[in-house]
Structure formats: C-alpha cells, structure tokens
Structure 1
C-alpha cells in the first residue's frame, strides 16, 4: 500500500514549486457542537486541527501542474477521516465556482471516508451540492481529473472520484463505495483496491506517486486544448495498391502482417494517454483502445478497434470517450478494424445490442468533428457504429461489408465454393465503397 500522505504533501508533490495559492474559505457560523449539537464534536474538531494544522478536511487552491494552471482540491484524511461536512461542502462549492469563473480544470485529490456522522443528513446532502457543482463544471466544458488516494470511499468516491472525467489512482489505494467498517464480513478485500477498480472499468489507471505530476500534466495539457478542426486521417502503413477482387480485399484485411491500431496510433501521435473502462463494470483492452493524443501540436481524441471482435464494454468505452471529447471541443479520430461485434452468450448478457445502439447515437449526435479511417476488417454494424457518417476513409488493405462473405453465403444457402464470388457481389473493396458513396476516399 502507498504511504498515506498529508494533503499539503500531496499538493507539494503534484504542483510546480511556489505556484499553489490557497483560495479564501467561506465559513458559515457554526453552532456549538455543530448543527446536531453532537456532544464533544467541537472538541473532536479541535483535536483534528491540532493534529493536522488544518481547519477543515479539505484544502482548495490554484496551482500549476507541469505548467498548466488548475484548481486543486486536496482532502486531509487526518482531519476526521477526510469526512464531508457543511463547511467542507462550502469550500468545495466555492472552488468549483472559481474554476468556472476562471476557466480552469479541476483536480480533486481525494482521500475520504465519506460523510461526517456528527452532522447527520446535513453532511450527506453535501453530496448533492458537490454533484451539482461537478455537473455545472462539466457543462462549462472544463475537464475534471481525479487522483484517488488511500482511502477513497463513500460519497467522496461516488461524487468527486467516480464523477470525474478521468480517474487516476495511487497503487494499493483502498477505493470503493463501502468503507472497511461497513462491508459484509465475507467481502473480498481485494475487490476494494485501485487495481481491482481498474479491472472493473471504474478507474483509468494506477500511477506511482513519483510519476503522478508528469502523468497528470500530460492529461491537463491534452484536455485543456480544444480545437474545432477535424482531425486528418492517418496515412496508410500497409498496402498502397487497391485489391483486385472482393476476396482479395478480405484476405489482405485478415493478414497477420497488416498494420493494426497500435502501429497507426504510434505513427499518428507524438504522445498519448488512455482511458480505460466503461464505468459500468467492464473493460475491453483487447478490442478497443481509447484516449487522447497530440497530433501536429493539437489534441485529438481516438477510439480504435484492434482487429478482434469488439465487446460491449469496448463500445461503451468508445461512447464515453466521444462524449467527453464532444464536451471539451476536441476532434475525434476513430479507427475501424473488427470482424464484428462479439456475439457470444456473455456479450448478449452484457447488453451488446444496447451498447452498439448507444455508440451509434453518440456518433450521430456529436458536435465535435469525427474522422474515421477503415484500416482492416469492417464487419457489419459492429464496425459501422464507430464510423463517422460522411467522413469515413479507407486504406487499400481494408474492406467493409454488411456481413462477412462466409456468413453471407451461409445465409443465402450457398456452398463454400461460392464464398469468393459472394465477396465480389457484395462490392466490399475500398474502391467499391467510394463508388457506392459509402466512404469519401481511399487513403
């Protein structure tokens, strides 16, 4: 488990030297022992202040992280377990309002056990206030990148943590809605770790403390640079001559020697960072790569199929990526390469149809420009869902089909000897797609 650092230690670790300036804190008058007159509450707060040197469980200010200015919200777990009370909520609200007024991204450095027991429901309702401020900041097109420390549980996880656009976690940090004292006695403690939350699609990545400033700086630079111009399609990395027949197009697209998404992403971006997971309990690391990168000095978001059947979580992750890029005004590049959507029983149980439908809708309604390059197999609706209507291009070693030629022949009750002829009849070659008006051109 990562060493538990105090709030100001974490601020010093992440912000550039001498750049952090604390924001003024709005403090409402407090009744003796708080709003519930909880006996000895004032004494508990006094001991927490003496122990930590802080007046409340959260410190809010502005600072530069690798040169990008941001509003930083740091929880002090040593102050009553980093719990959220009325005064905490007031500070958080003021910080978000300041961020919107000055067009700054928000970086919550979360370490909290949840809502403060001594303030009862008045403490719990602070989560509604935080959720509203986060939503307003999202609507304003400002990124929120949370760093999850040890522990991040309860309402703090369910608002500032899980509600952020991007979530990074320290190794071994305890993360979960249920804190350690309220879980079922037979609960597996391994499920409440940063690593488990990454595997479940709830956290984007685990970052060691020594690398956190650099990684966070990359995220802030990329997400704070909107650009309204469409992303140009990548240049082809494989064959440059068009295929002679439909079956030739299929064979080229299926060749193990053909460049896949990783090669295209590496050639297109000077550097990039990735999101992981659909925030619904799933990931598809072998089928979909999503993130943001720098191309010719500006930020471009990407969602790239990797040549395998795409899982429901892959479609949901791509939809999450495009929604975020749309809010931030960042153009999107999609790379289509899949034999089709996963069609096994587990994919059906995970809602593959609904996931594809959602992605179709997100692509269709996005205001930010989306550019698509077909780099390999374009198998049916599972591929088309990621393609931009009116701005899809293809490489010479690709094909797009209503269904794989073998399956088309089976549906038409044709034998195996007729598969190649069926491929020609489907007109799936890149040059056919141009002639049919399905794509703009062959790169």
Structure 2
C-alpha cells in the first residue's frame, strides 16, 4: 500500500479541486443588475434589496402571505377536456400540458383558495404564470366561475390575482369564450352586493386584461407590473409612433385612471384587509345629528309673541261662547 498515492494525493486533490456550484444560488435583478443570494431573495418575498424591483412570486407563497397565519384551503376545480381541438404545432398540446403539470405540480394555470383575511371569510383566485405563461383556457374559466360561486355561497369577498399572457392559443375560440364567461361570473358576485377586488401583477395582458381583470370594484397593482392588451412593440409598429416612457406600467395606468392604487408587495395584505373591512362592515363615520324641525333653528315649535299694551289676547277656542243670532 502506497500511502502517498492512497492518502496524501486525495487530500491535495480535495484542496485544489473545483467545486460544482448550483446555478440557482444567485439571481440577477432584471432592473438594476445586482446579484442577490437566493435565501435573501426568498426572505424578502422576491423583492430586490437594492432597488425594490418586484420579481414574480410563486402562487403558493403569495396565498400564504395573504391569508391569516398562512392558512387556506384549496378547492377542487371542475374537469375540462384536455385537448378539445387536437392541436399540434412543434409538439402535441397534450405533451405541453404534461410538461407544465410536471414542472409546476398543478393541473392548470389557476388556483382557487378560501380562508380568512383579517378574520373575514375570503375567496382568492390566483394565476400561476409558471404554467404556460398563466394563459387562460376553459380550465381557467371554470376556475374563475367556481371562485365566484364559492364567494356567493359563503357571502365572502372575491379577490382575483391575474398574471397572464392572455388567452391560450392552443384552445382557439374556446379560450376566447372565457372572456364573457368570467365577466358574467364577476357580475354575479356584484349582484349579491359582495366586493370584488383585483390585484394586477406582472404581467397582466391579452384577453385577461380585456375581461375580468379590469372590472374590480377596487383595482390594485404591484409596482412596475406590465398591464395592457397588446405588447408595446406591436402597438408601436401599428401606430408608427414612439410610446411614452413607462407605458403599460402600473404607475402609468395609475396616473391615467385605470388603476386605483399601486401597493408594494409587503403592504398588499394590510391594504386588502382594510378595504374588505370598509366594504363588508359599513359604519357611520361621524355622529348623525337630527335635522331641526321647521320654525326655529333649534327645532322648538314656534311660540306666538306676547300681545302689546292695551291689546287683549283672544280667548281660547274652547272658552268662546256661541255666536250671537240676529233677532226678529
């Protein structure tokens, strides 16, 4: 046994050997370019610690941030045909679905959950952008309809958090039909007198933004989120003009009245709870005073002025005698 070969050499090799470093330990911020350690990024809810840029947040993490103590229950969504059009481009649509399902562990691009926010029963429908870009097809439409029906059943507010590239092209006209379906579902919630909130996240585009995403009683958005229908390059090519800086960003839409509030991610939960409490538990903001009765300003009945000197007050009606009759 050669101790130099079997003992000393392996020790030196361990000292000089290049270690394999996983690729997912550091994330580069797309806004400022800083490298952020993955644990620091996850601890800060995927916000850049240097510039505050809001990166995309996994849907399960977002739901845990919203509900009390991170506790919620998911509902089983209705089943739909997987490939109604037998669509195929570079690969079969069914194969694309299987790939997305294996990567995300979800059946489709939407999750419907219910629980308590600020002690109030709340229903949340959140999109998963990692599932085929959060595209909307019949499965997503069924999920939104189920969320609206559950909100009506529980008499609870409905919160929708879209993150989508629009309608799913592999399902053609069936995906476009989800636009009126989801609009009708939202109307049922409003007809019941329940509040409907929308939290726009990056990105919200296409048929999603052209339907239920813009119908909220109160519409919130995360800072820097891309919100619009067609892409900026498509618009510039169509109108042959340069778009203004910040076009289709949440702050631009806030300035032009399309969004009610732009709320940082750490403040979303408190803001939604405050809005839910205001709309679900209305109460008078001040003491209501009774209006004064006609007459004196203080509401007291009018009192006739005292008679002047030498003027006899008229007798009471009950003390007056019978009217004199003329003699014959």
The bucket for the TM-score relative to the shorter chain is 0.5 to 0.7
Deviation of 1:233 (Å): 5.5
User: Contact 1:127–1:159 (CA<8 Å) still a contact in 2?
Assistant: yes
Structure 1 runs not aligned, ≥5 long: 235-370, 372-390, 394-433
Which of 155, 158, 163 is residue 210 of structure 2 equivalent to?
158
Deviation of 1:19 (Å): 2.5
| Structure-2 residue corresponding to 1:221 | 277
User: Contact 1:15–1:63 (CA<8 Å) still a contact in 2?
Assistant: yes
Q: Find the aligned partners of 1:164 and 1:62 in 2 and give their Cα distance.
A: 18
Q: Find the aligned partners of 1:201 and 1:233 in 2 and give their Cα distance.
A: 33
- Deviation string for 1:292-346 (max 9, x for gaps)? xxxxxxxxxxxxxxxxxxxxxxxxxxxxxxxxxxxxxxxxxxxxxxxxxxxxxxx
| Structure-1 residue corresponding to 2:48 | none
| Structure-2 residue corresponding to 1:110 | 162
| Structure-2 residue corresponding to 1:81 | 133
Q: Find the aligned partners of 1:66 and 1:3 in 2 and give their Cα distance.
A: 26
Radius of gyration: which is bigger? 2
Q: How many residues align?
A: 238
Q: Find the aligned partners of 2:235 and 2:106 in 1 and give their Cα distance.
A: 30
Distance change (3 Å), C-alpha of 1:3 and 1:179: same
Aligned-partner SS, 1:63: strand
Q: What is the correspondence of 1:238-277 to structure 2 with a 5 Å cutoff?
A: none
Distance change (3 Å), C-alpha of 1:189 and 1:36: farther
Distance change (3 Å), C-alpha of 1:63 and 1:179: farther
Deviation of 1:49 (Å): 1.4
| Structure-1 residue corresponding to 2:188 | 136
**1:4 partnered with 2:56:** yes
- Deviation string for 1:11-48 (max 9, x for gaps)? 11211224210012110243xxx122111111111111
Which of 209, 223, 227 is residue 265 of structure 2 equivalent to?
209
Q: What is the correspondence of 1:301-312 to structure 2 with a 5 Å cutoff?
A: none
| Structure-1 residue corresponding to 2:87 | 38
- What TM-score results when the alignment is normalised by the length of structure 2? 0.67
Deviation of 1:160 (Å): 2.6
- Deviation string for 1:368-423 (max 9, x for gaps)? xxx9xxxxxxxxxxxxxxxxxxx8x9xxxxxxxxxxxxxxxxxxxxxxxxxxxxxx
CA RMSD of aligned residues (A): 2.6
Q: Find the aligned partners of 2:207 and 2:125 in 1 and give their Cα distance.
A: 15
Deviation of 1:191 (Å): 1.6
| Structure-2 residue corresponding to 1:14 | 66
Which structure features the higher share of strand residues? 1
Aligned-partner SS, 2:163: strand
- Deviation string for 1:50-86 (max 9, x for gaps)? 2222110000010222322210000001111111101
**1:183 partnered with 2:239:** no
